[in-house]
Amino acid sequence: MSSTPTAADTEPQRPAPELVDAVELSRSVARDEAADRGYDPGSAVAEHIGVAPEGPDCVTHMFGANVPGYRGWRWEVTVATAGDEFPVTVSEVLLRPGDDALVAKEWVPWERRVRPGDLGIGDIFPTEPDDERLVPAYLESDDPAVEDTAMELGLGRKRVMSRAGRLDAAARWGSGEFGPRSDMARSVREPCGTCGFYLPVAGSLSAAFGVCGNEIAPADGHVVNVEYGCGAHSEIVVDKSAPVPVADLIYDDSLLDVESHAGAGAPGDG
């Protein structure tokens, strides 16, 4: 028959008093560690910050660290005991960052630091074998254009873009310089989808993207969204009439200069 656990059973055991009182022992160990690192032990180890229990037989004493370049860090000395009849021993001593410490940013592998436009002439940037943007070409795809080429044995590409890769590209292109919300697109009325210079891409992205083929357009040679547009649209009609209406010419005979013919006689000659 099982008994119901009491509050005393569930309450965590308090560490031994001799561990909590081992402040000076911990301070001495922290100073030795500071000296080994080349710091002045008298100033590098500051005041006692507190003690953190690690268990009934182990605690960690914390001291402030006055170390150049380590603002907000602290010395942590962990001490333990095997029982009442055994002495307090030092398990480890560390210089660790506190809650407001100045620490380095999370490590980012070099291949994740490269951004669009960073790749220069002669640079090589291989893709990872497990890149989620690519899938083996022999897998069935939801893109008809991929199926038409990738499934041809011996002629298809080794890997093709996955659905995730195409959706990522579509989101990037749609929100970029040649997307429907760019300043240029919002300044015109005619979209690229109705332009004669618009060359749709193949596959599942053909309904949303194409390449501009107008050398005058700012997007010439770039992938553009079907709703992008510019002032070089093929169907734009410019009104070439005069901006100011011109009235029909009216002749007033009273303002005409009359000259006599050189061979005509004087008036009254018979």
For the residues of the chain, what is the DSSP string, one character each?
-PPPPPHHHHSPPPPPHHHHTTHHHHHHHHHHHHHHTTS-HHHHEEEEEEEEEEETTEEEEEEEE--TT-TTEEEEEEEE-SSTTS--EEEEEEEEE-TT---PPPP--HHHH--TT---TT---PPPTT-TTEEETTS--S-HHHHHHHTSTTTS-SEEE-HHHHHHHHHHHHTSTTSTTSHHHHT-SS-GGG-TTEEEPSGGGTTTEEEE--TTSTTBTSEEETT---TT-TT-----S-SS--PPP---GGG------TTPPPTT--
Q: How many CB atoms lie within 10 A of CB 45?
A: 27
Distance linking the first and last C-alpha atoms of the chain: 161
Residue 147 has, within 13 A of its CA and on its CB side, a CA count of 6
Between CA 187 and CA 49 the distance in angstroms is 63
Structure-token pair, residue 6: 């009491």
Contact 210, 228 (CB under 8 A): no
Q: Per-residue pLDDT for 41 more than 50?
A: yes
What's the mean pLDDT in 23-40?
Answer: 95
Q: Per-residue pLDDT for 19 more than 50?
A: yes
User: How would residue 138 be classed by pLDDT, with cut points 50, 70 and 90?
Assistant: low
User: How would residue 107 be classed by pLDDT, with cut points 50, 70 and 90?
Assistant: confident
Q: Kindly report the CA angle at 125 between 124 and 130, in degrees rounded to 5?
A: 145
Q: What is the pLDDT of residues 168-222, one digit of tens each?
A: 999 999 999 999 999 889 988 889 999 989 999 988 898 999 999 988 888 999 9
What's the mean pLDDT in 41-47?
Answer: 93
Between CA 68 and CA 91 the distance in angstroms is 26
Q: What is the pLDDT of residues 207-251, one digit of tens each?
A: 999 999 988 888 999 999 999 999 888 887 766 566 666 666 666
Q: How many CB atoms lie within 10 A of CB 170?
A: 16
CATH of span 12-97: 3.10.450
The confidence score (pLDDT) of residue 134 equals 76
The confidence score (pLDDT) of residue 99 equals 86
Q: Where are the domains of the chain?
A: 12-97, 166-225
The confidence score (pLDDT) of residue 110 equals 73
User: How would residue 266 be classed by pLDDT, with cut points 50, 70 and 90?
Assistant: low
- Cα dihedral across residues 169, 171, 172, 175: positive or negative: positive
Q: Per-residue pLDDT for 268 more than 70?
A: no
User: How would residue 154 be classed by pLDDT, with cut points 50, 70 and 90?
Assistant: very low
| Mean pLDDT for the chain overall | 81
- The pTM of the full predicted model, rounded to 2 decimals, is 0.45
User: How would residue 269 be classed by pLDDT, with cut points 50, 70 and 90?
Assistant: low
Q: What is the pLDDT of residues 57-95, one digit of tens each?
A: 999 999 999 999 888 999 999 999 988 788 999 999 999
Q: CB burial class (10 A; 0-12, 13-18, 19+) of residue 154? A: exposed
The confidence score (pLDDT) of residue 144 equals 67
User: How would residue 4 be classed by pLDDT, with cut points 50, 70 and 90?
Assistant: low
Q: Per-residue pLDDT for 103 more than 50?
A: yes
User: How would residue 153 be classed by pLDDT, with cut points 50, 70 and 90?
Assistant: very low
